[in-house]
Amino acid sequence: MFSWPTNYDSCYTLAGVISREGIGLHSGEKTRVTISSYEKEGYYVSFRDKPNEIFELTQDLIGSTMLCTAVKLGGRNLYTIEHLLSAMAGCGLSYIHIEVDGKEIPLLDGSAIQWVRAFEDVGIKKAPKPNNFFQEINKSIILNKEDSVIVASPSEKITIISTISFPYKAIGNQTYVVDLNPKCFVEMIAPARTFGFKDQFQELRELGLIKGGSLENALVCDGDGWVNPPLRFDDEPIRHKILDLIGDLALVGLPKAQILVYKGSHSLNALLASSLKN
């Protein structure tokens, strides 16, 4: 039985090669990703048709689309990278090469758990001590966007306290607190699926967006309840918000901080990521 570390004292990479195939959220087309260890710290991407062009994923390549996180690599976009990034950072993995056959990372079940299971299939091995896996901060940072706010205060361990508030009975007010480490990420955060709203879902489908979106890869809320229960946790939505936050901070390094988020979103997370980078 595979057991994940209970701290981030060491950094790891994959002990073998994994490959997963699935539908891309945007295109609805099948896309395949092959992941292995790499000699340099960080996350590196190449496309199957140009194997010698290898790009390092960095925060300044990130462009947010309305629906997912994308990076521009050598003139083309790679979509929907956020849950894979979260899986790697949350599990304490770096020194990674990702080869993509397609233009998207497959959405799989809308959470990070299938990436985690894939990592477990081949196992992990210790990697050299990284320089950028964490960000040390020496003062508190407070950022807001409309009525949402994110605060990061220096701390020895990484603690995330996140709250959401939706005017729908199915979600309502949810708060989750986690002292982050790989084991805890895998058990408490990684299985939480992305969620959306029925009206919005139909609208986006009619616009020809989210061609690959389905009841298999997102929890869909219709106000009072869920279209596709059961939930994996009663508070699955707030746990997914934390999953997204970890993915959004992965390229600048997880801050050694106590992070408090109210009404988190990718754009709020991006504000913190860019202020950590500077």
Active site residues: 266
CB of 238 to Zn ion, least distance (A): 12
Q: How far apart are the first and last CA of the chain?
A: 41
The 3-class secondary structure across 152-203, one letter per residue, is EEECCCCEEEEEEECCCCCCCEEEEEEECCHHHHHHHHCCCCCEEEHHHHHH
Pick between residue 194 and residue 217 the one whose CB is nearest to Zn ion. Answer: 194
Residues of the shown chain interacting with Zn ion in the complex, contacts defined by CB under 5 A: 194, 244
Closer residue to Zn ion in complex, CB, 67/184: 67
CB nearer to Zn ion: pick between 41 and 244: 244
* Distance in Å, CB of 236 to Zn ion, minimum: 12
Count of CB atoms situated within 10 Å of the CB of 108: 23
CA 65 remoteness from chain centre: 15
Cβ distance to Zn ion smaller for residue 140 or 267: 267
Helix (H) or strand (E) holding 115: helix 113-122
**Closest separation in Å from C-beta 48 to Zn ion:** 25
Number of helices and strands (H, E) in the chain? 6, 19
